[in-house]
Structure 1
């Protein structure tokens, strides 16, 4: 985690590449990140739009209803539909590649997905994610367990849905109470820059829930730390390409899909037919009045 005392806010329009030449700023500089160019849920690569991103859709529905109970029900309904729809069977499914393009992920469970530019290997990634999921559960008083499922895809057990609903609802209530404050110095939002032909797109690394709420609120940009800049032309040198986990062609295909904002194939049914807009939950009397109109 970045040292809060060293965080520096860069002027609007600054490019994170400039910070790479300033070691004292690297990992501490804060940039305004436009949400329209962001990609969420890691390698699944969901744009921050209500009809595509389940957290954005859930926030968009729940924030319109002051009832905490109906808000939680809206979160639960949408997340259950998402987790039922997006169910990878391997890490290859999560990155959206076949085994020929990601041979090192052929027999890896979904939680072992990674980027071609990742420094950590599959075993370290899985161990780190399990620790993170356990820590989040402890923080919110929910203990889903290692086999309850992942945050970004199904299948999941009820405890995992409960944890996500609790997190989303707590954030929404905090915003209603104190206003939307996406950047916290002790828990900063973080992104990775994907750079192609001199232009950047942004992968959300930390702060998925805050970015999602920003998408639901119509926020134009969120201040974030850019942890690294990944250049397309460097693909032959990406660690997991060198290690043989990805072929160079497969790594470039993943980069391009994320850069272009195309969800992984496992999420395409959800992002089209399955993700129909959901109205805020209302009482039976309200539904009756709406039908009579």
Structure 2
């Protein structure tokens, strides 16, 4: 998910906690834990500052998003709460665990994927059933906020627990439809992936077979409509590409499958899940030396 959505998750998680009779320090500690825990896995973005090997694509949403680091991140915020506000307890630690776990797990549902099982597996797990920016989730959280404020609910934490239930139902409904599409159509391809659209129930199906990638608009209740067909040049010289452009090798490892480009001007590859308007923004290539016939 995007940074804004993760922030909203943290705020909604804090709002769902019953805080009657709490001191200001207790509220501050729980607020920092809920919001901070909802953001901390994305601390890996700082790796771009020293990335000279073209590995940022693998580092982002990598080890810091591992489910095995969840208790460690939660312990960090427990330590911060004790150090600054002298607040501690299993409830605070549990909130930290939940905040980080929601971040890591929600990222699994995007096409971008997550290294959920690192360091024991380098596989990027991705379901592709929820868009990175999901306006439906925003609407549910905003609706809960407006309802609690306008109706002046005396126990607003109950409203926000309902908000979490509705968001969970959205994840389940989207994923059930994605699973149905996978069961219906994945068998036609050698490699298959989904990318959720902004409208609930709308997906892009991306399938590769015999060097041809098909991108289709699909729902679980209608036949897919082919949007574009891409030819992958499977004989492209990847060794030459990887030697000259390390980011290309990283993208090749990171993506479930790629389209290879080999024409008069360049050798490259791109992730077809992010193909829009004739190009993919995840594209790495090298220019050919036309003068030397290379």
Normalising to structure 1: TM-score of the pair?
Answer: 0.23
- Which structure has greater strand proportion? 2
Whose RCO is larger (CA < 8 A, sep 6+)?
A: 1
Rg (Cα) greater in structure: 2
Normalising to structure 2: TM-score of the pair?
Answer: 0.23
